[in-house]
């Protein structure tokens, strides 16, 4: 993971209930179809939206796709950003 977070930010590697996040909730959820999760992290000035989608087919119920979108809560303030790669 690569970060350009300000020195006083609280870099996160996961979301836990005791992380003092402003919002950490599913706004849509279906165990077979997918869902949308919104995480609002004011200390890092970022709102992260993850969308999970099941694509039907195959012998094991299909494949999963994910879209991750981050946007600043306050556009005038520096935000945390991150990047990662998944092995093929």
pTM for the full model?
Answer: 0.70
Task: Supply the pLDDT for residue 13.
Answer: 67
CB atoms within 10 A of CB 17: 7
Task: Supply the pLDDT for residue 56.
Answer: 85
Q: Look at residue 14 and tell me whether its pLDDT is greater than 90.
A: no
Span 40-77, pLDDT tens digits: 988 888 899 999 999 888 788 788 899 999 899 999 88
Q: Rounded CA gap, 88 and 80, in Å?
A: 26
Task: Supply the pLDDT for residue 87.
Answer: 61
Average pLDDT, the chain: 79
């Amino acid at each position: 993971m690569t970060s350009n977070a300000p020195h006083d930010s609280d870099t996160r590697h996961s979301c836990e209930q005791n992380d003092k996040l402003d919002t950490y909730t599913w706004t849509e959820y279906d165990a077979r179809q997918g869902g949308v999760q919104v995480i609002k992290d004011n200390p890092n000035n970022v709102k992260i939206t993850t969308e999970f989608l099941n694509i039907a087919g195959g012998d094991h119920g299909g494949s999963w796709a994910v879209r991750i979108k981050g946007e600043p809560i306050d556009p005038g303030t520096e935000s945390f950003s991150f990047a990662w790669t998944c092995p093929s």
